[in-house]
Amino acid sequence: MKLEDLELISSIVHRRTGIVLGRQKDYLIDTRLAPVARQFGHISVEKLVQSIRSGCKPAEDAAVESMTTNETLFFRDKLPFDNITNIVIPELFKKRSSSAPIKIWCAACSSGQEPYSLSMMLYEMGLGPNQVSILATDVSYSMVERAKNGIYSQFEIQRGLPAKLLEKYFTQEGLTWKISSRLAERIEFRQFNLLDEFAYLGVFDIILCRNLLIYFDEARKKDILHRLSKSLAHDGYLFLGAAETVLGLTNDVVPHATAKTIYVRAGSDNAQQYNRSVQAVAFR
């Protein structure tokens, strides 16, 4: 691909999603645009880029979608799910007196494995849609459609899903597996771009924004973390991916006192527990 074409695609993707496609991604851009070029009837990626340059919006949308990395799996990393079951949900129920449901936001849900894992886990804890609801969003329209359909290949099913849960919550349809409608009852799926204002979505008790910030530059990470912390209930919990951290990016949230992968709002009771544990280590 020509340098000017690579630069055009990189700048559009950055402006529209926040994703940084560095020079080492040149090969990836070319590979991912090839099927988009075919889809729009162009004989080459160069022709596709020409049409984007001359203002073909559907081609631009499809090119941007193709640049999102949607890698995900059921119960990814396991620890966050164990922490939600063993620490977060019990702590929230202990603190809450009202019967309002606990609200979870999966802010980059990809093809749905993350919110469906949460839904299964919550049913296993005996918690239905009236007790815990989930908003699941992603910038990619096609991923949100896939997530809504809840149909997975044998390969996807084999990644992270325990056999016991497969048996209980999925039915086989030919070569694929469909989620039981019960799992989707507590989930609202919606296309949403985290670069847009999200305060109007409300306040959440638990936010998962996992394996997304790694694709963003520092300024964008800071901005999103700052705004996510505002969307977190005062005693809420934020989950990032295993390779992501808030260190050097924000003081709005701090690590949970005892559990890895969880962040809590600075100044909250949860954070004071963290401060006490840090002081205890310092005085040892």
Query: Residues near 208 by Cβ (< 8 Å), separated by ≥ 6?
Result: 80, 104, 105, 106, 107, 114, 118, 239
Using the minimum distance from each CB to ligand SAM, give the nearer residue, 5 or 138: 138
Using the minimum distance from each CB to ligand SAM, give the nearer residue, 142 or 176: 142
Using the minimum distance from each CB to ligand SAM, give the nearer residue, 198 or 274: 198
> What is the chain's Cα-based Rg?
21
Smallest gap from Cβ 267 to ligand SAM, in A, equals 27
Smallest gap from Cβ 254 to ligand SAM, in A, equals 22
What are the beta bridge partners of residue 232?
204
Using the minimum distance from each CB to ligand SAM, give the nearer residue, 42 or 261: 261
Q: Hey, how many other C-beta atoms are within 10 angstroms of the C-beta on 238?
A: 26
Q: Hey, how many other C-beta atoms are within 10 angstroms of the C-beta on 135?
A: 20
Quote the CA–CA distance of 122 and 35 in Å, as a whole number: 39
Using the minimum distance from each CB to ligand SAM, give the nearer residue, 171 or 245: 245
Q: Which amino acid is at 99?
A: S
CA angle, 189 then 191 then 194, to 5°? 115
Q: Hey, how many other C-beta atoms are within 10 angstroms of the C-beta on 223?
A: 16
Smallest gap from Cβ 15 to ligand SAM, in A, equals 11
Q: Hey, how many other C-beta atoms are within 10 angstroms of the C-beta on 174?
A: 6
Smallest gap from Cβ 108 to ligand SAM, in A, equals 3
Smallest gap from Cβ 202 to ligand SAM, in A, equals 17
Residue ranges that bind ligand SAM, judged by CB under 6 A: 17-19, 68-72, 76, 108, 110, 114, 138-140, 143, 193-195, 210-212, 241
